[in-house]
Amino acid sequence: MGGRGSAGVLATSLILFLSFLGLLGRSASEPLCTDSRAPFTLAKPLAFCPYNGSSCCNSTQDAQLQMQFQTTNVSDPACGSILKSILCARCDQFSAELFTVDAVPRPIPVLCNSTVLANSSQSNEAQNDYCSQAWDTCRNISIYNSPFAPSLQTQAKLNIKSNFTKLTDLYQSKTDFCKAFGGASGNDSVCYSGEPVQLNSTEAPTPPPGLCLEKIGSGSYLNMVAHPDGSNRAFFSTQKGYIYLATVPEMGSGKTMDVDESSPFLDLTDQVYFDTQFGMMGMAFHPNFAQNGRLFASFNCDKTKWLGCTGRCSCNSDVNCDPSKLPSDNGATPCQYQTVVAEYSANGSGSDPSTATSAKPMEFRRIFTMGLPFTSHHGGQILFGPADGYLYFMTGDGGGTGGDPYNFSQNKKSLLGKIMRLDVDNIPSVEKINKLGLWGNYSIPKDNPFSEDAALQPEIYALGMRNPWRCSFDSLRPSYFVCADVGQDEYEEVDLITKGGNYGWRIYEGPKLFAKPDSATNSSLNSSNFIFPIMGYSHSEVNKNLGSASITGGYFYRSMTDPCTYGRYLYGDLYAGAIWAGIENPEDSGNYTSSKIPFACAKDSPIKCDVQGSSLPSLGYIFSFGEDNKKDVYVLASSGVYRVVRPSRCSYTCSKENLTDIASPGPSPSSPSSPANRLIARLNNSVLVAAFLLLPLLILGKF
Domains of the chain in start order, with CATH, are 6-23+653-699 (no CATH), 40-183 (no CATH), 211-650 (2.120.10.30)
The pLDDT, as a whole number, for residue 681 is 35
The pLDDT, as a whole number, for residue 591 is 85
Three-state secondary structure call for residue 298? strand
Q: What is the pTM of this model?
A: 0.77
CA distance 183 to 120: 10
Q: How many C-beta atoms surround the C-beta of residue 620 within 10 A?
A: 16
Contact 25, 667 (CB under 8 A): no
The pLDDT, as a whole number, for residue 24 is 38
Single-letter code of the amino acid located at 359: A
CA distance 203 to 27: 18
The pLDDT, as a whole number, for residue 683 is 35
CA distance 181 to 621: 55
The pLDDT, as a whole number, for residue 3 is 40
Contact 415, 439 (CB under 8 A): yes
* Confidence band for 518, pLDDT divided at 50, 70 and 90: low
Element (H, E) at 385: none
Single-letter code of the amino acid located at 426: N
Element (H, E) at 579: strand 579-584
Q: For the sheet containing 266-267, what is the strand order? A: 223-226, 233-237, 242-247, 266-267
CA distance 197 to 98: 10
Long-range contacts of 303-308 (CB under 8 A, 24+ apart): 303/335, 303/336, 303/337, 303/338, 303/371, 304/336, 305/273, 306/270, 306/271, 306/273, 308/271, 308/363, 308/366
Q: Read off the pLDDT of each residue in 154-165 and give the average, rounded to a whole number.
A: 66
Beta 182-183 vs 111-112: how paired, if at all? parallel
* Nearest 10 degrees: Cα torsion 369, 371, 375, 377: -60
Residues of the chain above pLDDT 70, percent? 81
Contact 130, 192 (CB under 8 A): yes
Three-state secondary structure call for residue 650? helix
**DSSP secondary structure letter of residue 530:** B
pLDDT at 659 over 50: yes
Residues linked to residue 392 through DSSP beta bridges, in sequence order? 383, 421
Helices (H), 381-465: 430-436
Using alpha carbons, select from 117, 114, 115, 182 the residue that is nearest to residue 148: 182
Three-state secondary structure call for residue 131? helix
CA distance 370 to 372: 6
Residues of the chain above pLDDT 90, percent? 65
The pLDDT, as a whole number, for residue 544 is 63
Burial class (CB in 10 A: 0-12, 13-18, 19+), 138: buried
Q: Read off the pLDDT of each residue in 106-134 and give the average, rounded to a whole number.
A: 69
* Confidence band for 197, pLDDT divided at 50, 70 and 90: confident
- Chain CA centroid to CA 538, Å: 23
CA distance 309 to 549: 32
Q: pLDDT higher for 599 or 517?
A: 599
CA distance 703 to 15: 14
Would you tell me the crossing angle of helices 77-88 and 130-138 to the nearest 10 degrees?
A: 140
CA-only gyration radius of the chain, Å: 27
Q: Among 143-157, 177-191, 387-401, which stretch is predicted with the lowest mean pLDDT?
A: 143-157
Q: pLDDT higher for 698 or 215?
A: 215
Q: What is the DSSP string of 56-81?
A: S--HHHHHHHHHHHHHT----HHHHH
* Confidence band for 682, pLDDT divided at 50, 70 and 90: very low
CA distance 616 to 579: 13
Contact 488, 448 (CB under 8 A): no
> Nearest-5° angle of CA 94, CA 633, CA 342?
90
The CA-atom distances, in angstroms, between 75 and each of 139, 177, 477 are: 13, 22, 43
pLDDT at 691 over 90: no
pLDDT (tens digit, 9 = 90+) per residue, 457-497?
999 999 999 999 999 999 999 999 999 999 999 999 999 99
> Cβ neighbours of residue 135 under 8 Å, at least 6 residues apart?
167, 174, 177, 178
Q: Among 12-26, 198-212, 233-247, 441-455, which stretch is predicted with the lowest mean pLDDT?
A: 12-26
> Cβ neighbours of residue 89 under 8 Å, at least 6 residues apart?
95, 98, 99, 108, 109, 192
CA distance 519 to 529: 19
pLDDT at 556 over 70: yes
pLDDT at 669 over 60: no
Q: pLDDT higher for 303 or 42?
A: 303
Reduce the secondary structure of 471-527 to three states and give it as a string.
EEECCCCCCCEEEEECCCCCEEEEEEECCCCECCCCCEECCEECCCCCCCCCHHHHH
CA distance 426 to 448: 15
* Confidence band for 117, pLDDT divided at 50, 70 and 90: very low
* Nearest 10 degrees: Cα torsion 199, 200, 203, 206: -40
Residues linked to residue 629 through DSSP beta bridges, in sequence order? none
The CA-atom distances, in angstroms, between 117 and each of 21, 184, 587, 621, 653 are: 26, 5, 21, 53, 39
CA distance 47 to 59: 7
Exposure letters 7-28 (e unless 16+ CB within 10 A, then b):
eeebbbbbbebbbeeebbbbee
CA distance 442 to 365: 10
Q: Read off the pLDDT of each residue in 611-634 and give the average, rounded to a whole number.
A: 88
Three-state secondary structure call for residue 639? coil
Beta 294-302 vs 337-345: how paired, if at all? antiparallel
Compute φ and ψ for 557, nearest 5 degrees: -80, 115
Residues linked to residue 512 through DSSP beta bridges, in sequence order? 509
Contact 188, 561 (CB under 8 A): no
Three-state secondary structure call for residue 237? strand
pLDDT at 21 over 50: no
Termini Cα distance of the chain: 20
Furthest-apart CA pair in the chain: how many Å?
84
